[in-house]
């Protein structure tokens, strides 16, 4: 993953307000477990646990939407992007690896600070 595709807390806050980054509509992808997400998440984030991600990327788009409630941006989209985060960055790296193998590159971003930094911005 390119360093410029790693975003800061300030950039995450901007995405929350605008829904976009670099003129791309952003889907915030929380890859923590469903149980963890019950404790809070970034506004408008959708949950696809990293343990299910690789298998579920193989689903037909309509089945993926039925399971998760949203359309996954395609790897070659020029108008949409994915921003991946977890609790503290470890699962984000795993999800980035999985998505990179599916040819996501130019429209793939990571927030390695994760929920820990987002939910406690003054302690990091």
Residues labelled catalytic: 86
Angle, CA of 37, 15 and 40, to the nearest 5° = 15
Q: How far apart are CA 24 and CA 124, in angstroms?
A: 28
Q: How far apart are CA 22 and CA 9, in angstroms?
A: 16
57, with CB counted inside 10 A (0-12, 13-18, 19+), is middle
Cβ(56)–Cβ(63) below 8 Å? no
């Amino acid at each position: 993953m390119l360093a410029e595709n790693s975003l800061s807390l300030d950039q995450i806050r901007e995405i929350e307000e605008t829904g976009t980054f670099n003129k791309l509509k952003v889907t915030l992808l929380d890859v923590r477990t469903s149980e963890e997400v019950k404790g809070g998440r970034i506004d408008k984030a959708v949950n696809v646990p990293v343990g299910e991600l690789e298998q579920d990327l193989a689903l037909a788009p309509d089945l993926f939407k039925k399971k998760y409630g949203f359309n996954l941006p395609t790897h070659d989209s020029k108008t949409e992007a994915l921003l991946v985060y977890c609790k503290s960055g470890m699962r984000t790296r795993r999800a980035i690896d999985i998505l990179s193998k599916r040819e996501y590159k130019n429209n793939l971003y990571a927030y390695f600070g994760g929920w820990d930094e987002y939910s406690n911005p003054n302690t990091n």
